[in-house]
Amino acid sequence: MAGRGRGTGTVLSVLCVLLAGCGGHPAPDPARDDVQRVLDRRAEAVLERDEAAYRGTVAPAAGGGADRPATGTAEFARLRELPLASWAYRLTGFARSGDRATAEAELSYRVRGYDRAPATAERALTLTHDDGTWYVASDEPAPEAAEQLWEQGAVRAVRGRHSLVLGVGRTEAALRVHADAADRAVPAVSEAWGDDWAGRVVVLVPGSLEEMAALLGAPAAAYRGIAAVTTGQAGGSERAPADRIVVNPDAYGELGAFGGQVVLTHETAHVATRDRTTAATPLWLSEGYADWAAYRTTGRDADRIAPELQREVREGRVPHALPEDADFAFGGDATALAVAYEGGWLACRMIAERWGEDGLNAFYRAVGDHGERAGAVEGALREVLGTTPREFTGEWREYLRAQLG
């Protein structure tokens, strides 16, 4: 009986191993590892510019056969001019049903010379199993995730002294205009802010407003009339990817050379100040500073730069307080938005005039360093500028009257 008992125990132990434990948890599907290896080969093919290897990861065309459909290599062709330092997939979800599977993956990639750390994109994939091998049938943005520029067409790259411009559906000459403006913006911002930033920018130029919105994962209506925006992680670090300046070609195309330069310098200022811009930084300061840097050496008077706020002041409606964050929301009242931007710009301009440009920069950094909104502006006003919120607001209101009345 004892020997039989030990035998039964051995059989049960073997069964438990085969069933991945008696607790009822299913054994990991080995197909997941197989799919990860396919994605690793796909990533290596992208980096090595090896089209044959890339085609080897693409699902056979309907009806079988060894040939791969042309649509399967469209992404590869569109990436040809994108200067990549890295490209990798990491499976985050996997479900199999016979010879078909769905997967979620994180795509991470670095643009050579610009990204300090990988940019990431969430992907949704479908795969098929054929003749003992898994193939990628589709690779698309995950639900509610933003598109990537190469999904909108072949990427063209134009390099400047301080910039990399990536565009779709644009000539090299058209993209060179953006590169030249960015190359002027970078030293202008460094002169205002200092050299403690990367000193280079990445500019994305999609084909339309709708495609710009797709890159940002937002409705097009939110950016109608907005010439460009900057993406990036507030309080960025050495491990953050480079910000992207995303151009709205519809609105940008309506600007002249002066307006286009102001826009790219404004956005470049956001790139430069990103590391010191945190949850503590109000939008009147971050947007006002970017406008101050953009207009700093233009020689234009306040009434030409702040016409909407001037109208308010001259009609007796001097704002009682600095703009709130909500006043900067896109897609709302365009006049109210302009008044908010103009008010923030004039606040920063006033600080630069009365406390010096070094005082403005020190104030900006002190606010961001506080880390949280409560007490940040109040503390920086006291410690850097030697004033109080009430006194500062009063001075700002008088400044508006003097400059715009």
> What is the DSSP secondary-structure string of 204-257?
EE-SSHHHHHHHHTS-GGGGTT--EEEE--TT--TTSPPPEEEE-HHHHTTS-H
Query: CA 237 from chain center: how many Å?
Result: 14
State how far the Cα of 223 lies from the Cα of 225, in Å rounded to an integer. 6
Encode the chain (405 residues) as per-residue pLDDT tens digits: 444 344 444 443 433 433 444 455 566 678 999 999 999 999 999 999 999 999 999 998 643 444 444 446 788 999 999 999 999 999 999 999 999 999 999 999 999 999 989 999 999 999 999 989 999 999 999 999 999 999 999 999 999 999 999 999 999 999 999 999 999 999 999 999 999 999 999 999 999 999 999 999 999 988 888 999 998 766 555 556 779 999 999 999 999 999 999 999 999 999 999 999 999 999 999 999 999 999 999 999 999 999 999 999 999 999 999 999 999 988 778 899 999 999 999 999 999 999 999 999 999 999 999 989 999 999 999 999 999 999 999 999 999 999 999
The one-letter amino acid at 148: Q
Class of domain 30-63+72-145: alpha beta
**φ and ψ of 176, to 5 deg:** -65, -30
Residue ranges of domains in the chain: 30-63+72-145, 147-274, 278-405
The one-letter amino acid at 331: G
Strands (E), 98-186: 100-111, 119-130, 133-141, 155-159, 163-168
> Which one, of 327, 323, 347, 342, lies nearest residue 398 by Cα?
347
CB 141 within 8 A of CB 123: yes
> Which one, of 370, 383, 170, 196, lies nearest residue 275 by Cα?
196
Tokens of residue 141, six digits: 């943005």
Beta-bridged to residue 22, according to DSSP, are none
Q: Let me know if domain 147-274 sits in CATH 3.90.320.
A: no
Q: Render pLDDT for 204-226 as a digit per residue (tens, 0 to 9).
A: 999 999 999 999 999 998 888 89
pTM: 0.87
State how far the Cα of 225 lies from the Cα of 83, in Å rounded to an integer. 31
> Which one, of 34, 32, 16, lies nearest residue 24 by Cα?
16
The one-letter amino acid at 18: L
The pairing of strands 163-168 and 201-205 is: parallel
- Where b means 16+ CB within 10 Å and e means fewer, 282-314 reads bbbbbbbbbbbbbbbeeeeebeebbebbbebbe
> For helices 172-193 and 283-295, what crossing angle results, to 10°?
110
